[in-house]
Structure 1
Amino acid sequence: MCLLLLAGRADAAPIGYSITGGSVDIDVKLDGVVIGTSAGVALTGDSIMMDTAALTLNALRIEIAPTLISLSTHFGGFDEISVESAIIEGDITFANLWSQDTGTPGLFSVGAGPLLVTGSWGATDSTGINAGTSGQPITFPVPTITGIIDASPGLRIDSVTMHSIEGTPFGEAGKHLTIVASYSIETEVSIVPEPGTGLLVAMGLTALAWHRRSGSGAGPAPRG
């Protein structure tokens, strides 16, 4: 009986999933208008924790590969923006805020937060007239994200603002450049035990061993 209860508990526990594939599409916007796009940027790893029984997103950390984005409109003398590194990760108070079954088996939507994007960016002028810049820090808070989780399991997160650049230091007073990402993530299971699960397993095995010993030691078999 103890082992049956333990199995039911494990079904509802959060499970860690390693990121094995997927990509991110990045838009660069100037005052809300898209002026550059980089599609299919690779994800370089990390993990997500979900509970598909409780329909919750419990933790995430996603890193993308460096990418260079050409701009159709110059910004501060630059026509290329590079995302040198970018990691989006649940903050210390990260929690699932809401969940909703979409009505399609194995597909549900979630809202979670807060998160933080860290990394660095740079900018260049492809003509070589203006000196480029690099190593500009990214430390950008993301209050919430909305995602769709499927049965594979995979995760889709749309329109996350990774960074916002105020134009004044670049001679573009009153203008803002934003970097927006949409993630499509593939995973494979990598079970992360719930805290205390190891102790419960040990207790269950001990109880089973005691039951077997007490059954086998109930007394000598009757003589014929």
Structure 2
Amino acid sequence: MKVKSKSRKVNKAWLNDHLNDPYVKLAQKDGYRARAAYKLKEIDEALGLVKPGHRVVDLGSAPGAWSQYLRRRLAPADTVVALDILPMEPIEGVTFLQGDFREGAVLARLHDAVGGQPLDLVVSDMAPNLSGIASSDTARISHLVELAVDFARQHLKPEGALVVKVFHGSGYSQLVKLFKETFRVVKPQKPKASRDRSAETFLVGIGLKAGRAPEA
């Protein structure tokens, strides 16, 4: 019974923090599906990543807050494609593709959605289901980041940029190294909208190094 009581206290404390979170309230006011929109907003405002005329892909897009932000920042004619293995409610002006971007059929649909053109920006808020086993969780997190980097190598313009979510801890330095091997400029970002007690942070890579750009 003590365990259940403790669990209830933890859940109640989380719910209280969530309901009183200023970014949760702001998301409700601004019509965003999640507070995560403000993380991308802060990163974009700091680095100027989203620009008119861009083609952008949002990996791991559900529930859609990052895609909402991107759509609002770009002109109606600009391309925003959201990808996720989970379903996502439609967003006007955003092309949603449900499926695994490692699969050929999904990539073919993506190719059509972006008009066969390379991308200006790839963003990834992907995160695995954590098991609580440090070594296993580190491997899962690293794998998703590596997938995003590989996707960027294949689809970004030479001057394009990639934003991914990572976590401080075991494996973080290796992911920074991977970014530095791939991009000319690497900038770690910890937006204010990311809770202080969270190990979550973001890596931004700008400009593919020679030999990393996609083939024409």
The alignment's TM-score, normalised by the length of structure 2, stands at 0.27
Q: Which has the larger radius of gyration?
A: 1
Larger RCO: Structure 1 or Structure 2 (Cα < 8 Å, ≥ 6 residues apart)?
Answer: 1
The structure whose residues are more often strand, as a share, is 1
